[in-house]
Amino acid sequence: MDKEIIFKPIGHIESEFQDREEIPKQSVLTKDKVAKIILNEELLDGIYGLKEGDDIMILFYFHQSEDFKLKFNHHSGEVRGVFNTRSPNRPNGIGISIVNIKKINRNLIYFSGVDMVSGTPVLDIKPYIPELNTSN
Ligand SMILES: C[S@@+](CC[C@H](N)C(=O)[O-])C[C@H]1O[C@@H](n2cnc3c(N)ncnc32)[C@H](O)[C@@H]1O
């Protein structure tokens, strides 16, 4: 399956981070920071039922990523394969962050736990339901 897949972003992130170097490595480290998803207006009905306090998974595109290496020195000190990391530099540049909704105002979804640079394209939003995530 070599077919290319084309996605159209459903919106983008607006955050206080203009530079990816200033962002902590995971969303768990930025629980005190609030950013927002600006959802494309025509998709507004798609967030019907989401509410303040819900945890969601944001799938996004690392639009500022650099060339990836398949194996490299990870910041943990180990050599790791890219699929054993959450590096932004990866073959398909897809990121996933679990964040908490603080407020929704029409197509603006405010959330805590941002680890994306401002302007990051959002590909999808899904509810985070821990019971549905099993390693068994
Ligand atoms: C280690 S990744 C983890 C992201 C996500 N939680 C995941 O696991 O897929 C987070 C880092 O990616 C970088 N980053 C954030 N937004 C980016 C973007 N749009 N393009 C490239 N790099 C980005 C920042 O340096 C940030 O610290």
Question: How far apart are the CA of 2 and the centre of ligand 1, in A?
Answer: 26
Sign of CA dihedral 25, 98, 14, 30: negative
Which residues contact residue 127 at a Cβ distance below 8 angstroms, ignoring those fewer than 6 apart?
A: 50, 54, 55, 56, 57
Cβ–Cβ < 8 Å for 54, 102: no
**pLDDT for the residue 2:** 85
pLDDT tens per residue across all 136 residues of the chain: 789 999 999 999 999 999 999 888 777 777 889 999 999 999 999 999 999 999 999 999 999 999 999 999 999 999 999 999 999 999 999 999 999 999 999 999 999 999 999 999 999 999 999 888 766 5
According to CATH, the topology of domain 11-65+94-128 is: Elongation Factor Tu (Ef-tu); domain 3 (2.40.30)
Question: How far apart are the CA of 116 and the centre of ligand 1, in A?
Answer: 5
SS3 call for 130: helix
pTM: 0.94
Gyration radius of the chain over CA positions: 16
pLDDT per residue as tens digits for the range 15-34: 999 999 988 877 777 788 99
Q: Whose CA is nearest to atom 19 of ligand 1?
A: 62
Pocket of ligand 1 (CB under 6 A): 20, 23-27, 62-65, 86, 88, 95-97, 115-117, 120
Strands (E), 1-136: 11-14, 34-39, 55-61, 71-73, 79-81, 94-105, 108-112, 121-127
Report which ligand 1 atom has the smallest distance to the Cα of 13: 19
Q: Other CB atoms closer than 10 Å to residue 85's CB: what's the count?
A: 17
pLDDT per residue as tens digits for the range 108-122: 999 999 999 999 999
